[in-house]
Amino acid sequence: MYPVHIDFPDSFETPRLLIRAPRPGDGPSFNAAVRDSWPELRPWLAFAAGDVPSVAESETRMRTAHQSFLARQDLMLLLWLKGSDIIVGSSGLHRIDWQIPRFEIGYWARTNYAGQGYITEAVAGIARFAFDVLGARRLEIRCDRRNERSAAVPRRLGFVHEATLHNNCRHHLTNELGDTLIFARTQPD
């Protein structure tokens, strides 16, 4: 099978959001969202351990993600407030196994737009897209047990807590050992 031959749209909508793959030119909007949120991302996302990226670095990220999306290797998805150039968060379908198909959903919220249900709405829409359009049989969400706001998202959406992997990670800032929670939703053939 050739994943690169699988045709599917690069955008779809939920009530408040346009969810779409990154494109060349998205760098400034993405950078603004990242810049606003860096202190809140830092404790939970290893990529935010360093300095805030420049606009040029964000543009490179968007172009690389665009290529990976087209190659069906990794499906990053930006969360746009409908009818605006405002990104309220980022998500995507990662660690893909097209043979199943299975995907892992990741996410972060832009700080000024957190606590309003945008991430829950986006993940619900992305799960629907994965099951209905991509034919997913398994969706996973993994998070550090200490990240309660993150674990609340799959819990709110009826994902099953399948496992806790004890001592499965070290915190990227403190080096403290931690547990990984695995949530999943599945669909039979």
124 interacts with ligand COA by CB under 6 A: no
Give the Cβ contact number of residue 121 at 10 Å: 18
Residue from the set 143, 159, 181, 182 that interacts with ligand COA by CB under 6 A: 143
d(CA 28, CA 30): 5
Q: What are phi and psi of 25, to 5 degrees?
A: 100, -10
Rounded CA separation 66/63 (Å): 5
Give first-to-last CA distance, the chain, whole Å. 18
Closest approach, Cβ 59 to ligand COA, in A, equals 22
Q: Which residue has the tokens 């986006």?
A: 122
Q: Which stretch binds ligand COA (CB under 6 A): 36-44, 67-75, 157-165, 181-189?
A: 36-44
- Among 118, 129, 159, 183, which residue sits at the site for ligand COA (rule: CB under 6 A)? 118
Applying CB under 6 A, does 68 fall inside the site for ligand COA? no
Q: Give the Cα separation of 102 and 46 in Å (integer).
A: 23
Q: Is 179 in the site for ligand COA (CB under 6 A)?
A: no
Q: Is 184 near ligand COA (CB under 6 A)? A: no
| Footprint on this chain of ligand COA (rule: CB under 6 A) | 40-41, 44-45, 107-109, 114-121, 143, 147, 149-150, 153
